[in-house]
Structure 1
């Protein structure tokens, strides 16, 4: 099979809509794959929508139609040859025309399209046109026909199979991209091609790895062609091979390969990730057995299930990999750039490495985005990052009638088959918050009996997964209660299945995380602004502040800044400036989420997973992310690295008193000595105790401190400290805003070292959550550690990596060197 990419020479123009005079009637160079926004930006015709208030200036693009045009040369189809025009992805509502002949229409960015152009391809010059109409107007028209179904944001994103967050979300811009967003090519064949290959990978009871290669063959049938010949399918992996002959007319085959004593693939933190090269080859007739088509995939041998066997508490939701129960430590994943074609494999590697660096072992690909790319899954395969993949449904009721139903089935079949065999794939999930929405958000009254998606989640999608990827478990949605019909146990019940915890962000203080002990918390989080370098690169308000116009445009959450202030007020000293507010809200975000993670981890095995909302951002914005839109880690990332550490000490309430949870998420016993001390902020030890730790692998042990350790003489002047070698937990007896911190608790020196600087910090008094905000000193600067707490007399060295020359004094003073102490206004009166 011969392939010819069609990526060079495209032109872009508008054909209808409220187009500015500076753009109307112009035809500009276009990049494929890409989008209209990026092409107009490259031509200097529109502002960058991420910059300041650029998003507001581009709403005209929501109701604009576009034309992509390509002139190319190609030979006509030979009498015995089939020629297909293949689009791997079109965004979204398109009409495709070749040399004046309409080949077909599309209305789904989540699937590919193939058109037979044998009869329309000219010998020599050809013209290919892709007309894209407004996805918003298409969705509005579909809604008018099918009837309104509730959705959480103004646009009817549930009426078109397009990335839902393209229409805006509470962390994303409303840009509504349009374009040829994946590769396009001509494919020529004379005999047959591999139309689909599904490797189903399992492990036999004797430890052998088993690969079942399910192959679908597309034959060439054209008038005047010779009789359809037999073809041969072969497969090979790790020295094992198999082959079969497909007689004329046969279009499917299954090959079974066995790898004795296969090395198992494990999630990060549980073992290694060996991958095996699987090659599948289709060959044709003739003395040389000419190769017709080839498929390659690296696979890993593992088993994965989700234990939902009812127990004395309710219904667990525990991932089991290779027979081992896993505590899922992870985050939710959104598209890493709103402009999807700018996401490279290298960028995905950096992001997944950041997740690994924070001790995560699972990412949930959220249902308002896309089916992620092959690159994403390959990167996760290599690194042991389990992936929970939502089907693209989020926060809305979805019609089960045409034209949507057929599109949904087609996209699901294509993507389940495409992703089957990736060892990282741990769960197919029906969608995000739709079962919850039906239960709590007033949908039944609005729907008045109309369909809303239940048939997708409980019938169509599980049937497709069972047929095409039976090696991967399926869940109806998130949150959901396994086995509970609509109207039964609430889908967000803490004792059953998965739970989303959003009362904390929306209404309650973050200490309310302790009010619930879910079986698996698949969404929870708290907001904070991006790093200073990211913020000031994209927002240039004068003066810059939390209520300045561009800053507010980059705060998409309803009542977002007020929620930040309400969340901050009970805990930290009141900020005196915008710079203080920026640091305090970032710190409070880190504190809030770490508080929740530590609570949930302390309840293993009752609670079997936490997926923070969210790992990443798609543009520069105040959001729940740990890594901002310019790829910089926020303080939250460092807090997660500590809270998800393989060994954790955390003070937690149990039965009306404070206990110390010893969390051992390693494969080795945690044994040793533990020191408990009640100290003054100036360092005096008022009470202490020595305890032996005996924590089995993958376990949690509770230690009850003596009353003398739990009863302070002065709550403002004392802290409780638990330490075992390099693992420490600190408990304060009152909130930071009331603690008698010394604002001048730190002294620091900075020294140039190879690759950057070393900042040596010493504590005169108790100093909490010390941070070197390195990006404030240089945009490329990254610090190795953050949110470090020091007792009086202790020191810590922060290492700053940068290619810039920085004045060392900048690294040792505010606003770069910060802590909770630096938010205090003055020494407490008792000092």
Structure 2
């Protein structure tokens, strides 16, 4: 039985380093009172959040306030609560005999005291601190619990020496390109009291597979303690409260540790599939052990039945690792995103926020997330959501590149910390059906800047841990895993799993590069784009809300120095008339750049077996970043275009550049993509000017195999000078019922100088908006195209998702756009309660 101590009243108080260990001045004998009074504290949480609530620091996410908060990491912080476990146990027909305190997230080094007795010291964020408290705990009385945190350890941010890392503390807090320096301290995960009888459950391992039309659920665990001849274990398996299997065994009476293991064979199982390929039924597995007094301990897990395999890509070099993931016998093309922690103050991320992010991920047709090694190993609730939403997880251990060197540390003390973290992570996360692959860390390399291999002792240790505790699961030495670290089209055959680039590379170069890519897997790449004007206004004063850049403006530099897009965008669009115009242009280029990388990779399916975009989210609000979703939860244009590029049925266009001069022959190739079963589809294409005139149109009905990709048509058009010099290519896919299941619009220019100036500055089109049940009816009522119409909600009342956001309407066309509220809606809001504003790229 676990009793949560989160709900008790917690307090926190700050001290100068080491002061709480002495309490009174040696010279004067007086109490040393601390640098703060006792403050209300949140558990889980972090000190910064509590200080902000108390008014002792300014909002660290506003302007350059985070610089004013750096003193916090250099103080010691004492947490205190008083709890009576009898309040929780009473009435549950359970009498605990043995007790332990469990601190699931200790950030970073802390001393623990119960009722004035020191329990011990713990260091490390990702391995729980566990203290038996029999004889110290008063089961039916008040107990005083104190956790004293030392100041945060010294560690490197993004730039430094990986070989000199010494901690298992999340490094992004110490400054990364998408964040600031805001080093968390506190109890960032649950605090629990475990109460058991004479027997306790430990080391649970649940593994599933399929064989001969049966599902296999393999369950093993260790039972600690001794119940004489009265011990027994039971395992129940049910699906939606319908019993599937049960099993019971007697436990040996003499041993202090007994192993329990059984394989359940489930006829006609409900199989678990990744998002977009099927359902995610979860079987509940309940473990119980009994001593002479009855129920002694109990655990509950949810798992899915699936077979997971790894195959080499067709035509891959002999030394290539397997990058094709096969689920239930079907190859799965990876449509992924990289995740950073959801907040700098990751302890304060609520379950509601986790749910919103996972809903956005699922809604974007994403089937895998990579948990990046410079961040955190997430809380259990996150993986449970991935289980139920079909999101496969690529989990990295806590190691990352540093730029100056990227060589994994061999410091003995570090290796011991890493080993403990890794063992706990593997034992805990292996039980989630979503978990798919382990990686040694992010961008780890040797001293020649070549991706690290499992010959390095640090990586070999991690691989051995995975083999021992999660046998059969794929372990990759690092991401990227080489032999090239970064995509290099001049070195064909060397681009196995690669990273890069993170910038739009130009109206010619971008397309030439990705048209020639031969990567087997592309586990990290991105394009930067500005956040919305509303988000920018939330993090800085109005004097900074103008067209500027990171060189001119220090506040902008503080919120995204690496991701300055002004020069890039002015070369394409010309000078901007307003911040609003700049933001729209920046987001358009981000969306265009990412879409093309994904689609070019997908056109080589399974020669390339997946794309993982850097990055889905950001842990603090940036002016500009490579994120698809802004800190405050608003999806950028790129989110919606990535969603389209990941559609299960999709049409894409391959092209060599964005500018085609008058009388030059435009060339584009139309591809049809299918992630589903074999089917017949109709693909339509049009080349349109801004007035909706079709200069070229056609269509073709095709049968496409399961998991297939097909070159449908090659388009060629020689056009005279257009006014304005902009044209569009629109692709549509229709199903057997003639319903449009996919639509993709591409924009090209005839102008070499500022090619898209006329796109953003042309006469704004007219469109009407009518609210209908569940959404809006949008109609172009003018005589010119309205490019990329989008809706947004500025009030901050809810996160919203608009299915066909950033749609383009030509004269006379209309479209129904549905609006959904993201996540669990505790406010009871409906879309009709929200004020949705509508805009377009040039309006």
Q: Tell me the TM-score normalized by structure 2.
A: 0.83
Match of 1:501 in 2: 500
SS of the residue corresponding to residue 477 of structure 1 reads: coil
SS of the residue corresponding to residue 406 of structure 1 reads: helix
Match of 1:405 in 2: 415
Tell me: CA distance 1:6–1:678, structure 2 relative to 1, closer, same or farther (3 Å): closer
**TM-aligned CA deviation for residue 169 of structure 1:** 1.4
Gaps of at least 5 residues in structure 1 are 141-149, 221-226, 445-450, 823-831
Q: Deviations over 1:493-521 (max 9, x none)?
A: 86553111126458995434334231111
Judge which range, 779-788 or 5-14, deviates more.
779-788
On the 8 A contact 2:492/2:518 being kept in 1, the answer is no
Match of 2:166 in 1: 159
**TM-aligned CA deviation for residue 120 of structure 1:** 4.0
CA–CA distance in 2 between the matches of 1:336 and 1:778? 19
SS of the residue corresponding to residue 275 of structure 2 reads: coil
Tell me: CA distance 1:171–1:229, structure 2 relative to 1, closer, same or farther (3 Å): farther
CA–CA distance in 1 between the matches of 2:177 and 2:375? 13
SS of the residue corresponding to residue 68 of structure 1 reads: strand
CA–CA distance in 1 between the matches of 2:492 and 2:173? 31
For the pair 1:746 / 2:755, whether they are aligned, the reply is no
Judge which range, 669-678 or 104-113, deviates more.
669-678
On the 8 A contact 1:412/1:461 being kept in 2, the answer is yes
CA–CA distance in 1 between the matches of 2:640 and 2:516? 25
Tell me: CA distance 1:108–1:565, structure 2 relative to 1, closer, same or farther (3 Å): same
SS of the residue corresponding to residue 738 of structure 1 reads: coil
Tell me: CA distance 1:784–1:318, structure 2 relative to 1, closer, same or farther (3 Å): closer
Cα RMSD (Å) of the superposition?
3.7
SS of the residue corresponding to residue 129 of structure 1 reads: strand
On the 8 A contact 2:285/2:302 being kept in 1, the answer is yes
For the pair 1:360 / 2:366, whether they are aligned, the reply is yes
**TM-aligned CA deviation for residue 529 of structure 1:** 2.4
Match of 2:529 in 1: 528
For the pair 1:317 / 2:327, whether they are aligned, the reply is no
Tell me: CA distance 1:699–1:438, structure 2 relative to 1, closer, same or farther (3 Å): farther
For the pair 1:666 / 2:675, whether they are aligned, the reply is yes
Match of 1:649 in 2: 651
In the alignment of these two chains, the number of paired residues is 771
**TM-aligned CA deviation for residue 798 of structure 1:** 4.4
Match of 1:223 in 2: none
On the 8 A contact 1:203/1:303 being kept in 2, the answer is yes
**TM-aligned CA deviation for residue 273 of structure 1:** 1.4
Match of 2:826 in 1: none
**TM-aligned CA deviation for residue 282 of structure 1:** 0.9
One of 105, 108, 112 as aligned partner of 2:121: 105
Judge which range, 118-127 or 608-617, deviates more.
118-127
**TM-aligned CA deviation for residue 319 of structure 1:** 0.9
For the pair 1:96 / 2:101, whether they are aligned, the reply is no
**TM-aligned CA deviation for residue 312 of structure 1:** 5.2
CA–CA distance in 1 between the matches of 2:782 and 2:493? 42
For the pair 1:115 / 2:122, whether they are aligned, the reply is no
**TM-aligned CA deviation for residue 767 of structure 1:** 4.1
Q: Deviations over 1:442-471 (max 9, x none)?
A: x99xxxxxx9993232x2222222222225
Match of 1:234 in 2: 234
**TM-aligned CA deviation for residue 629 of structure 1:** 1.1
Match of 1:391 in 2: 397
One of 149, 168, 186 as aligned partner of 1:132: 149
CA–CA distance in 1 between the matches of 2:503 and 2:349? 32
CA–CA distance in 2 between the matches of 1:638 and 1:297? 34
On the 8 A contact 2:786/2:840 being kept in 1, the answer is no
CA–CA distance in 2 between the matches of 1:73 and 1:267? 44
1:789-800 equivalent positions in 2, closer than 5 A: 789-798=808-817
One of 32, 40, 59 as aligned partner of 2:51: 40
**TM-aligned CA deviation for residue 667 of structure 1:** 2.2
Match of 1:734 in 2: 749
One of 698, 717, 721 as aligned partner of 1:710: 717
For the pair 1:187 / 2:164, whether they are aligned, the reply is no
Q: Tell me the TM-score normalized by structure 1.
A: 0.84
Gaps of at least 5 residues in structure 2 are 20-31, 87-94, 239-243, 658-664, 735-739, 821-830
Q: Deviations over 1:160-199 (max 9, x none)?
A: 1112212221112311111112222333444121122111
Tell me: CA distance 1:506–1:112, structure 2 relative to 1, closer, same or farther (3 Å): farther
One of 696, 701, 712 as aligned partner of 2:710: 701
On the 8 A contact 2:315/2:607 being kept in 1, the answer is no
On the 8 A contact 2:480/2:498 being kept in 1, the answer is yes
On the 8 A contact 1:93/1:132 being kept in 2, the answer is yes
1:152-231 equivalent positions in 2, closer than 5 A: 152=159, 158-204=165-211, 206-219=212-225, 231=231
**TM-aligned CA deviation for residue 412 of structure 1:** 1.4
Match of 1:419 in 2: 429
CA–CA distance in 2 between the matches of 1:692 and 1:677? 15
**TM-aligned CA deviation for residue 720 of structure 1:** 4.4
CA–CA distance in 1 between the matches of 2:698 and 2:138? 87
1:189-588 equivalent positions in 2, closer than 5 A: 189-204=196-211, 206-219=212-225, 231-238=231-238, 239-247=244-252, 248-249=254-255, 250-285=257-292, 290-308=294-312, 311=315, 315=320, 317-396=323-402, 397-435=407-445, 438-440=447-449, 454-457=456-459, 459-481=460-482, 495-502=494-501, 504=503, 510-511=510-511, 512-545=513-546, 546-547=548-549, 551-552=555-556, 554-558=558-562, 560-561=563-564, 564-588=565-589
SS of the residue corresponding to residue 479 of structure 1 reads: coil
Match of 2:662 in 1: none
Judge which range, 112-121 or 599-608, deviates more.
112-121
CA–CA distance in 1 between the matches of 2:613 and 2:362? 14
CA–CA distance in 2 between the matches of 1:793 and 1:3? 62
Match of 1:768 in 2: 787
On the 8 A contact 2:149/2:186 being kept in 1, the answer is yes
On the 8 A contact 2:98/2:134 being kept in 1, the answer is yes
CA–CA distance in 2 between the matches of 1:80 and 1:774? 51
SS of the residue corresponding to residue 534 of structure 2 reads: helix
CA–CA distance in 2 between the matches of 1:334 and 1:575? 32
Match of 2:840 in 1: 818
CA–CA distance in 2 between the matches of 1:616 and 1:324? 30
CA–CA distance in 2 between the matches of 1:188 and 1:776? 46
Match of 2:12 in 1: 12
CA–CA distance in 1 between the matches of 2:199 and 2:285? 21
Match of 2:599 in 1: 598
SS of the residue corresponding to residue 579 of structure 1 reads: helix
CA–CA distance in 1 between the matches of 2:682 and 2:800? 38
CA–CA distance in 1 between the matches of 2:561 and 2:495? 29
Match of 1:31 in 2: 42
**TM-aligned CA deviation for residue 411 of structure 1:** 1.7
**TM-aligned CA deviation for residue 574 of structure 1:** 3.4
Tell me: CA distance 1:110–1:322, structure 2 relative to 1, closer, same or farther (3 Å): same
On the 8 A contact 1:83/1:187 being kept in 2, the answer is yes
